Amino acid sequence: MYKKLIRPLLYLLPAEVAHHLAFGGLRLLASIPGVLRLMRHVFHQNDDATRVRALGLDFPNPIGLAAGFDKDAIGYEALGAMGFGFIEVGTLTGQAQSGNPTPRLFRLTKDRALINRMGFNNRGSADAVARLRRPHRTIVGVNIGKTKVVPEEQAIGDYVASAKRVGPYADYVVVNVSSPNTPGLRNLQATEKLRPLLCAVREALNEVSPARRVPLLVKIAPDLADEDVDAVADLCIELGLDGIIASNTTISRDGLASSADEVEHCGAGGLSGPPVAERSMEVLQRLRARVGEEMVLISVGGIETPEQARERLEAGANLVQIYTALIYDGPWLPKRLAEGTSGREGPGQ
Ligand SMILES: Cc1cc2nc3c(=O)[nH]c(=O)nc-3n(C[C@H](O)[C@H](O)[C@H](O)COP(=O)(O)O)c2cc1C
């Protein structure tokens, strides 16, 4: 029904409008008494063979929704009930901001890809707290980033403010230094800048949550050179980070089936979906070889099928995430992917 009826209708609309409509519809549906429970019954298989233990948490399955879909933490219970093992909300910034001018989200249908330059449009981390502190069943990671108007030299304060607000309610926190849509953000991946940032966020989380150690992860770009991936991995080991998420969207436009005109029409932004899959897998393999078995790796980028999810898990990912494939394949995808991981061997089993 999604591909035959709903998707063609959504495609008549600009991509961002379609997103708000579909997400709004889901939230409305989930607000009807009894529907969340019904959804969980339909979409979750409750199968011991899909469970994963990682980051000190028991995930019902290893398939997560990547950051950027539920930026303001407004619908994570409904999304969780749709079959995901966990939801990463955000990116939340220290201050509310409207993001880049629209249009800022584009479909490249021939590549089943998206290009976005959203620019961290969100209501800010303080606003999200009211919703994050509600009791919830879904495992919720909170991804934090830098407010655009905050200068790079003051970035740490902005991340720390968000970490202090969301830390007590987050199942894990992600420091996002890899979005291509906030000028200068990716410079924070350089180890001399990343070290003080991660130390400060770790300290902030310890301060606001002394009784429960909040797992801290960093999310990196697929465009990092191999030596820089190694350097981030070494730093994460040195600092005792809990995990790495690889990867964000790419600024590369290589190997696309879409025409040069179609690609140019989208303009600047991060490319996601199958074109990022190969590099995302390479970075995963490189990271796993570098960090050993202990550190949690979340692989994201171009995963569309149960086989691909399984491949990532077998290549050393503890968990995986999707975003773009959900737009192309619809609401049954998380369940299909989760079923495909049933009974597999891998870290976290
Ligand atoms: C429209 C859109 C918005 C995104 N926003 C964020 C974001 O706010 N923070 C973030 O860390 N990643 C963001 N991402 C990146 C995704 O979380 C993910 O890393 C990337 O899309 C690769 O996965 P995919 O190929 O399954 O989409 C966004 C992606 C898309 C398509």
Position 344 pLDDT exceeds 90:
no
Measured distance CA(315)–CA(285) in Å, rounded? 6
Nearest atom (ligand 1) to Cα of 90 = 8
The confidence band for 46, taking pLDDT boundaries of 50, 70 and 90, is confident
Nearest atom (ligand 1) to Cα of 276 = 25
- Tell me the pTM: 0.96
Quote the pLDDT of residue 211.
Answer: 95
The confidence band for 278, taking pLDDT boundaries of 50, 70 and 90, is very high
CB 166 within 8 A of CB 144: yes
Nearest atom (ligand 1) to Cα of 120 = 8
Quote the pLDDT of residue 277.
Answer: 98
Mean pLDDT of 198-202: 98
Measured distance CA(217)–CA(196) in Å, rounded? 14
**What SS3 class is residue 49?**
helix
Measured distance CA(341)–CA(310) in Å, rounded? 6
Q: 259 CA to middle of ligand 1, Å?
A: 23
Mean pLDDT of 89-111: 96
Position 330 pLDDT exceeds 60:
yes
Quote the pLDDT of residue 347.
Answer: 56
Position 103 pLDDT exceeds 60:
yes
Mean pLDDT of 148-170: 97
Q: 188 CA to middle of ligand 1, Å?
A: 18
Q: Which of 125, 162, 178, 179 is catalytic?
A: 179
Q: List, for residues 73-86, the tens digit of each pLDDT value.
A: 999 999 999 999 99
22 token code pair: 């579909």
Is 272 part of the annotated catalytic residue set? no
Mean pLDDT of the chain: 94
Q: 211 CA to middle of ligand 1, Å?
A: 32
Q: Which residues contact 182 (CB under 8 A, 6 or more apart)?
A: 119, 120, 145, 146, 148
Q: 55 CA to middle of ligand 1, Å?
A: 21
Residues lining ligand 1, judged by CB closer than 6 Å? Answer: 66-68, 71, 90-91, 105, 114, 116, 118, 120, 143, 176, 179, 219, 248-249, 272-273, 276, 300-303, 322-325
Share of the chain above pLDDT 70, in %: 98
Quote the pLDDT of residue 346.
Answer: 53
Position 7 pLDDT exceeds 90:
no
